[in-house]
Amino acid sequence: MRIAIAGDHNGFRLKGRLVARLTAAGHTVADLGSHTPDEVDYPELCVRVCARVTGGTADRGIVLGGSGLGETIACNKLPGIRAGLCPDLWFTRISRGNNDSNVLVLPAKVLEAEEAEQIVETWLTTPFKGGVHRRRVDQIAALEQQG
């Protein structure tokens, strides 16, 4: 799978670990920053990841921030993005299975590295259920089109 990933200064260390893990698992990973632990504003990082997803050069995106709340808001402002904030496996399964999320947002300040790795693996392998959930995702896309 082609994965675009970015993280702000709060997610910098965890992002590095996830990039290594994803690459070792055979995924093609585009690390879009930040590349230092220096403070950085996250909206531009969100745009970079989401542009890869909607542009078709990444199958999925991952964004890391402190709480992940701002990143989730920023990502979901962009057309075609369904970003889910996933602090645990329950949210992860719902994010993919029910909402067909194409961007995973991780709250780096509250996750241990092993938890984050398990969340990423679950998110990448959980299929979208379709059915009634497809109808709802289509309704969300219609809302996006209406402005």
Q: What is the pLDDT along the chain (147 residues), one digit of tens a residue?
A: 999 999 999 999 999 999 999 999 999 999 999 999 999 999 999 999 999 999 999 999 999 999 999 999 999 999 999 999 999 999 999 999 999 999 999 999 999 999 999 999 999 999 999 999 999 999 999 999 887
The per-residue pLDDT for 120 is: 98
pLDDT at 20: 98
Instruction: Round to whole Å and give the CA distance between 77 and 61.
Output: 15
pLDDT of residue 55: 98
66-98 confidence digits (pLDDT tens) = 999 999 999 999 999 999 999 999 999 999 999
Can you give the pLDDT at residue 124?
Answer: 98
Contacts 24+ apart (CB under 8 A), 109-118: 109/10, 109/66, 109/67, 110/67, 111/14, 111/87, 113/14, 113/17, 115/88, 116/14, 116/17, 116/18, 117/17, 117/18, 117/21, 118/89
Q: What is the model's pLDDT at position 147?
A: 72
Q: How far apart are CA 44 and CA 8, in angstroms?
A: 10
pLDDT at 87: 98
Looking at residue 119, what is its pLDDT?
98
pTM here is 0.97
Q: Tell me which residue range forms the domain holding 66.
A: 2-146
Q: Integer distance in angstroms from the first to the last C-alpha of the chain?
A: 31
The pLDDT of residue 121: 98
Average pLDDT, rounded, for the chain: 97
Assign residue 37 the CATH number of its domain: 3.40.1400.10
Give bridge partners of residue 3 from the DSSP assignment: 29, 60
Domain count of the fold of the chain: 1
d(CA 137, CA 121): 23
Q: Give DSSP secondary structure letters for 29-62.
A: EEE-S--SSS---SHHHHHHHHHHHHHTS-SEEE
Per-residue model confidence (pLDDT) at position 143: 92
